Amino acid sequence: MRAFLKLMLIVAPVYTAVTILKYTPAIRVFAEFMAPFMKHFGLPGEAALSLIIGNVANLYAGLGAVTALKITPSQLTVLSLMLLLSHSQILETAVFFQIRAKWWLLWVIRLVLAMIAGAGLSRLIARPGPEGTADAAKLADMAQVHFHGLGPALADWAVGFWQTGIKMLVVLVGIFILLEWGRRYGILERTLRAIGSVTRFIGLKPESGMPWLAGNVFGIVFGAGVIIETAREGQLDAKQITLVATFLALCHGLFEDTAIFIVLGANMFWILVPRIVLAVAVTWVLNKVLKGGGRTGLTEQQAGET
């Protein structure tokens, strides 16, 4: 419930702001400007709003913008994959900076791969209807909702917001129950041992396993405490920290983040498998390129400051 309330404090104002903007010419102007670029991803121009908010603020702020837009399931899947690969850049890059990972490299990797993945996936699954072939002006015109009075507008907002909130609550409650159950009965530790072959393949040492698992299950921000504490204890050198951070930058919060977008209508396979494949491939390449060893990511003084 605490997690749900925190998320709703972010989603609610963004959802409301986007809904209000849809009754004004603002999104119309924005859509006309962005439509040519967004067409490379098979998306309408106004969909860029969720990408920008999601990268600058966080994933759930971008989610609030997504729920206020009317897009097809295939477009939702493309947009979801791009958001899951690149979001919360300011907050999560700050975490990477604190643990002395190559934050600038991770920032570039996330943005570039999000665009490449979005463009590639749109060509595989996007099946636009008649409106998908419209020019920028027509797409922009679709972005504005006609105002028929305050009452109908509030009712439409309330229904949409209520449906979104219920979906998020159901998913979050279920996920946290499963995670608590797994932690209490030692399932997480057994899982870590079971996936040892995967972590070794991408160059992670045994001591990197728990921060890696924590980030995958709880997300970068939630797993940041484990990552920072492990680095503080001197168990991770600079290369190991960067490898863990690289994988988590592209693939984290696998259960919670993925489930929320699935509930909204995104295709599970296309928003899950490409992220895992890209994370494994990029981390494996960096493991071969980066020099091993070196000093630990955090000295005792730096960890205390963190």
Q: What is the mean pLDDT of residues 288-297?
A: 65
Lowest mean pLDDT among 18-32, 58-72, 188-202: 18-32
CA gap 164, 167 in Å, rounded: 5
Is the torsion defined by CA of 38, 43, 49, 55 positive or negative?
negative
Q: Which is higher by pLDDT, 1 or 227?
A: 1
Asked if 75 and 47 touch (Cβ cutoff 8 Å), the reply is: yes
Residue 196: CB atoms within 10 A of its CB come to 12
How far from chain centre, in Å, is Cα 142? 27
Confidence check: pLDDT of 12 > 60? yes
Please give the tally of structural domains in the chain. 1
- CA 81 → CA 93, 223, 249, distances in Å? 19, 21, 13
- CA 188 → CA 179, 195, 259, distances in Å? 8, 11, 19
Mean confidence (pLDDT) of the chain: 79
Q: Which is higher by pLDDT, 131 or 289?
A: 289
Q: Which of 58-72, 127-141, 207-221, 234-248 has the highest mean pLDDT?
A: 234-248
Can you give the pLDDT at residue 127? 61
Place of tokens 């989603």: 11
CA gap 234, 147 in Å, rounded: 60
Confidence check: pLDDT of 300 > 50? no
Can you give the pLDDT at residue 31? 57
Q: What is the mean pLDDT of residues 35-60?
A: 82
Lowest mean pLDDT among 63-72, 84-93, 244-253: 63-72
Place of tokens 């999560």: 92
CA gap 256, 137 in Å, rounded: 37
CA gap 43, 128 in Å, rounded: 9
Buried b (16+ CB within 10 A) or exposed e, 213-225: bbbbbbbbbebbe
Give me the percent of the chain exceeding a pLDDT of 90: 26
How far from chain centre, in Å, is Cα 138? 30
- Span 83-97, pLDDT tens digits: 999 998 877 887 788
What is the band of 304 on the pLDDT scale with cuts at 50, 70, 90? Answer: very low
Q: Which is higher by pLDDT, 192 or 107?
A: 107
CA gap 80, 86 in Å, rounded: 10
CA gap 164, 67 in Å, rounded: 7
The parent domain of residue 10 ranges over 2-305
- Span 134-183, pLDDT tens digits: 344 444 454 466 777 788 888 888 888 888 788 778 777 776 787 678 77
Confidence check: pLDDT of 281 > 90? yes
Can you give the pLDDT at residue 140? 46
Q: Which of 25-39, 132-146, 211-225, 272-286 has the highest mean pLDDT?
A: 272-286
Helix ranges restricted to H, the chain: 2-21, 26-38, 48-56, 59-67, 73-85, 89-98, 103-125, 136-143, 150-184, 187-194, 196-201, 209-218, 220-232, 238-250, 256-264, 268-289, 300-305
Q: What is the mean pLDDT of residues 32-43?
A: 82
Q: Which of 58-67, 81-90, 218-227 has the highest mean pLDDT?
A: 81-90
Place of tokens 């998908």: 132
Can you give the pLDDT at residue 210? 76
Q: Which is higher by pLDDT, 29 or 40?
A: 40
Which residues, in sequence order, are CB contacts of 174 under 8 Å at separation 6+?
Answer: 259
Can you give the pLDDT at residue 109? 96
88: left (phi over 0), alpha (psi -120 to 50) or beta: left
Q: What is the mean pLDDT of residues 197-213?
A: 86
Confidence check: pLDDT of 56 > 70? yes
Q: Which amino acid is at 7?
A: L
Integer-rounded Cα radius of gyration of the chain = 20
How far from chain centre, in Å, is Cα 178? 21
What is the band of 289 on the pLDDT scale with cuts at 50, 70, 90? Answer: very high
Residue 194: CB atoms within 10 A of its CB come to 10
Q: Which is higher by pLDDT, 74 or 23?
A: 74
Confidence check: pLDDT of 26 > 80? no
